[in-house]
Amino acid sequence: MTTERFGLIQVGGKDATVIGDDITVGQSAPDFSVHALDWTVVRGLADTQGKVRIIAAVPSLDTDTCDRETRRFNQEAAGLDDDIVIEVISTDLPYAQKRWCGAAGVDQVMVLSDHQTAEFGEKYGCLIKERRTLRRAVFVVDRKDKVSYVAYMPALGVEPNYDEVLEAARAALA
């Protein structure tokens, strides 16, 4: 049975329901299936095995905060070790994501869609029931699929602490 937590976050000034339990540091990261821009299925952990993953959950690339966050991670990705992969996941349709990536010049991060099944959202405690979008969060998963960093943003418009996320990813390389 999937956990539903009401009032954990507000959307549009009203309390909303988050589906799934929060991920915690030290636990084994659950694998998940999402879709790439061409609708192929991507297994978020299995397909990046042996790498450190920064996984950023965002509500929609078509919002100002998500746009800034994804562009920032794309910019940072160019300077990271090749063994660090950044996955940005939203419930936007792959068509919309592909259009947005082309317009924004985003090509260093994996932009992935949780639209069809919302499996990632449920497994990582990010799915907002009322809107079927994701709440903003960032996870770092090490090479052995252990969670080494978690940050759930207190509100949808709050960006993550990029320096903290990048430092956690670099530390997970060791």
Looking at the annotation, which residues are catalytic? 66
Cα separation, 1 vs 14, in Å, equals 25
Residue 75: partners with Cβ closer than 8 Å, 6 or more residues away:
108
Q: Is 162 helix (H, G, I), strand (E, B) or coil?
A: helix
Q: The tokens 């659950």 sit on which residue?
A: 30
- Compute φ and ψ for 103, nearest 5 degrees: -70, -35
Q: For residue 9, list its beta bridge partners.
A: 16
